[in-house]
């Protein structure tokens, strides 16, 4: 059984693919295209944002299940914003928790998550032993990875997120969507973010995308034996 790695964009997918030297095969499945590596992973550029990422991940999971070869693990991977000073640019974060940070309602008393309104869920927890193994193999910092639909662009929003989520180390835009799709099919999920920028005032010119993609490749080189053994 294989592992499905879901990134947002093809540049991130290809950074992960570079960790698996050897031929790759392109597979077209209904609603989604996959890259099958020589190793243990199938890779999907699932799209930007939680909704598109959930749709692509669900399509890949369903196709594999109908094929009789379901995935045994889903990993959401990519570049991300890091909360300062705990997750500096260039560092790597592994999810102890994957949390939707802006799924809820704004009220006069502030933000209320959907769970407090009586709906759904806002957090998925990866298997603790897998988090431990991933941290040991890669040297990543373990913490909460937030999923947002809007990239944080002010110090005030960064501070608000940290107030609500003191364990947050990073934010991305896909993790919770990928996790919802995985958990719906009873497949465990993990998120890995290579920090390309600080969460805070928007400064796109300061994003270190190339370096973060190189860190992502290195991370998957180190993670490969963990994924194989899982």
Which residues bind to ligand LNDFFVEH, rule: CB under 6 A? 8-9, 11-12, 48, 78-81, 148, 151-152, 171-174, 196-197, 199, 209
Cα 29 to Cα 33: distance, rounded to the nearest angstrom: 6
* The pair of three-digit structure tokens given for residue 118, joined into one six-digit string: 């009586």
Which residues is 139 bridged to in the sheet? none
Which residues is 168 bridged to in the sheet? 144
Nearer to ligand LNDFFVEH, 107 or 154 (CB): 154
CB atoms within 10 A of CB 150: 10
Cα 2 to Cα 229: distance, rounded to the nearest angstrom: 11
* The pair of three-digit structure tokens given for residue 205, joined into one six-digit string: 């010119």
Q: Output the smallest distance, CB 149 to ligand LNDFFVEH, in A.
A: 9
Nearer to ligand LNDFFVEH, 55 or 209 (CB): 209
- 51 vs 57, 127, 158, 176, 184, CA distance in Å? 10, 23, 23, 9, 14
Residue sitting closest to ligand LNDFFVEH (CB) = 81
Nearer to ligand LNDFFVEH, 138 or 194 (CB): 194
Nearer to ligand LNDFFVEH, 33 or 49 (CB): 49
Q: Output the smallest distance, CB 16 to ligand LNDFFVEH, in A.
A: 12
Cα 144 to Cα 155: distance, rounded to the nearest angstrom: 19
- 145 vs 13, 65, 108, 124, 140, CA distance in Å? 19, 28, 27, 10, 12
Q: Output the smallest distance, CB 68 to ligand LNDFFVEH, in A.
A: 32
Q: Output the smallest distance, CB 122 to ligand LNDFFVEH, in A.
A: 17
Nearer to ligand LNDFFVEH, 133 or 174 (CB): 174
Helix, strand or coil, per DSSP, at residue 223: helix
Per the CB < 8 A criterion, the answer to whether 169 and 83 are in contact is yes
Q: Output the smallest distance, CB 70 to ligand LNDFFVEH, in A.
A: 26
Nearer to ligand LNDFFVEH, 42 or 174 (CB): 174
Q: Output the smallest distance, CB 153 to ligand LNDFFVEH, in A.
A: 8
């Amino acid at each position: 059984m294989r592992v499905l790695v879901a990134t947002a964009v093809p540049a991130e997918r290809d950074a992960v693919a570079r960790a698996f030297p050897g031929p790759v095969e392109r597979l077209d499945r209904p609603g989604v295209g996959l890259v099958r590596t020589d190793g243990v992973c199938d890779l999907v550029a699932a799209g930007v944002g939680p909704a598109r990422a959930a749709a692509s991940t669900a399509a890949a999971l369903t196709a594999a299940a109908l094929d009789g070869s379901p995935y045994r693990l889903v990993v959401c991977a990519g570049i991300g914003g890091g909360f300062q000073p705990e997750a500096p640019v260039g560092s790597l974060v592994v999810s102890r928790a994957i949390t939707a940070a802006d799924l809820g309602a704004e009220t006069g008393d502030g933000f209320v998550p959907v769970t407090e309104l009586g709906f759904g869920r806002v957090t998925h927890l990866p298997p603790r032993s897998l988090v431990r193994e991933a941290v040991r193999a890669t040297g990543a910092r373990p913490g909460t990875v937030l999923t947002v639909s809007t990239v944080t662009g002010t110090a005030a929003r960064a501070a608000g997120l940290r107030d609500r989520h003191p364990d947050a180390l990073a934010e991305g835009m896909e993790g919770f969507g990928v996790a919802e799709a995985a958990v719906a099919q009873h497949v465990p999920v993990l998120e890995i973010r290579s920090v390309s920028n600080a969460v805070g005032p928007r400064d796109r010119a300061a994003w270190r995308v190339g370096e973060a993609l190189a860190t992502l490749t290195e991370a998957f080189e180190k993670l490969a034996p963990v994924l194989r053994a899982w």
